Structure 1
Amino acid sequence: MDLRHRDVDLRELMDDPDCDPVALAATLRRFDVVNRAVSGWGTVWRRHLRPALARLDRPARVLDIGSGGGDVTARLAGLAERDGLRVEWLGIDPDPRALAVARERARPGVEFRSTDSTALRATGERFDAVISNHVLHHLGEPELRSFLDDSLALSTGLVLHADIERGRTAYALYAAGILPLQRGTFLRTDGLRSIRRSYRAPELRLSLARHGTWHVLRPAPFRLLAVGSGRA
């Protein structure tokens, strides 16, 4: 497997509008287990998001763009509640199939809508922080420009975009580690394709440098975090 360069021509099975709906729903539901194990959001919450929201000393609003099945949104909402922070969470995704799964995780203070960042920006809504998980590697250059611009325009504070860091070790560990969870889902095929589409840190820094001031960190093994400051 040649992982020296991003394979941007790969398409994930779950992005096919005609994919198996049962397997898609199972994939979206089981992402919760995968993301808890490898996404590094616990660290991102402790080091970045929680301190920023706590400084507000008032109820906060956080937007999750491309929230998929809603597991990251719901997990962070649980962490905020545990830590005594008052936060309203909104997850958005243009795919109604994802919305159907995400709404299983909705509760007071946690809402999901079928829309995208450009449409939401046009409504004039603003948030104290904007986040995403596993969105960057899906985007071509024109889409990336629009996505970053929207996320900065929607936030009055932090913007945090988390993704995978491409590499041989990440590929090998995921290929083996996902086996117990893959049955009836797209987790193995799509996860490996995601790694092949993803950035390495220098590549992401170079790409983001064309679109404003961003810092790229490694919050956990095989993870990248793009950090920006909103301009809303």
Structure 2
Amino acid sequence: MDAPDTDYATFRGCLRDLARVNRLSLGYRPTLGFLEGLRRAGRIGPGRPVEILDAGSGYGDALRAVDGWAARHGIAVRLTGVDLSPWSARAAREATAPGRPIRWVTGDIFDHEGRADVILSALFAHHLDDAGVVRFLRWMEARARIGWFVNDLHRHRLAYHGFGPLAAAFRMHPFVRHDGPVSFARAFVPGDWRRLLAEAGVPEAEVRRRMPFRLCVGRVKPA
């Protein structure tokens, strides 16, 4: 779907199908659980708007889920989605209701200036090589005031072989059927994350498996 000859309608259709995968697989649950933990611990709540940044925001569905969670709990937020593709910002903007506290930015996340209270990413890290992941971890550690959370895939044989048939059964776009197994093949296992966290200098971050086939890494800084 990232091929240079892919047209916008096809690109947007793939993003919509990936959002369907996230909904069907309860993919937002780990991220919202992390934010809920911060809320219950008193780290975020009513008062000053909480600044949340989503790295590699894609279709924007994760930030829209965060927006809904914040609204249900009466938490004011300022949400920013950053993605390298200008088509991602366009598609995310078109899919977002007017007046929501979300802005979409096109650019390289490593060039994004400023800080945020919380930095999130979903299905972004497996697109990076090991050096890129280490750089990303260090970037989040330096830019997040309260904490950060990576919601990504868990490399697993069953997921690799099973995604294609399931995507076909749900009539997903052929690009999604192809890219899904590739993404699982590029994903990490817990030992990979622990090694990369140690190299990045943040070994205290928590690595946790979440079903189905999610592997999440979170870090809450001391108050």
Partners of 1:84 and 1:70 in 2: how far apart?
A: 21
Mark the runs of 5 or more structure 1 residues left unpaired by the alignment: 1-13
Aligned to 1:22: 9
Select 1:168's aligned residue among 157, 175, 183.
157
Distance 2:174 2:164 in 1: 14
Structure 2 residue runs without a partner (length 5+): none
Deviation by residue 1:24-73 (Cα, 9 ceiling, x = unmatched):
21011222211112253224313x21231462332211100000111111
2:208 alignment partner AA: L
- TM-score, normalised relative to structure 1: 0.83
1:143 maps onto 2:121 in alignment = no
Q: Do structure 1's residue 34 and structure 2's residue 39 form an aligned pair?
A: no
Distance 1:222 1:165, change over 3 A: same
Counterpart residue number, 2:216: 225
User: In the alignment, residue 49 of structure 1 is paired with which amino acid?
Assistant: L
Quick one: which of 136, 141, 145 aligns to 1:152? 141
Letter in 1 for 2:136: F
**Structure 1 residues 101 and 189: alpha-carbon distance in aligned structure 2, compared to 1, 3 A threshold:** same
Residue 189 (structure 2) pairs with residue 200 (structure 1): yes
Letter in structure 1 aligned against 2:65: R
Which has the higher mean CA deviation after the structures are superposed, 80-89 or 152-161? 80-89
Q: Which residue of 2 aligns with 1:76?
A: 66
- Report the identity percentage: 29
Contact 2:55–2:81 (8 Å) recurs in 1: yes
**C-alpha contact 2:31 2:151 (8 A) present in aligned 1:** no
Cα distance in structure 2, aligned partners of 1:103 and 1:152: 28
**Greater RCO (CA < 8 Å, at least 6 residues apart):** 1
Note the alpha carbon deviations across 1:139-198, whole angstroms, 9 max, x for none. Answer: 113322322222222210121011110112212332222114445451110111101111
- Residue equivalent to 1:100: 90
Count of aligned residue pairs for this structure pair:
214
TM-score normalised over the length of structure 2: 0.87
Could you tell me how far apart the structure 1 residues matched to 2:39 and 2:50 are?
7
Secondary structure at the aligned position of 1:62 is classed as strand
Distance 2:37 2:75 in 1: 10
After the TM superposition, which parts of structure 1 deviate over 3 Å for at least 4 consecutive aligned residues? 180-185
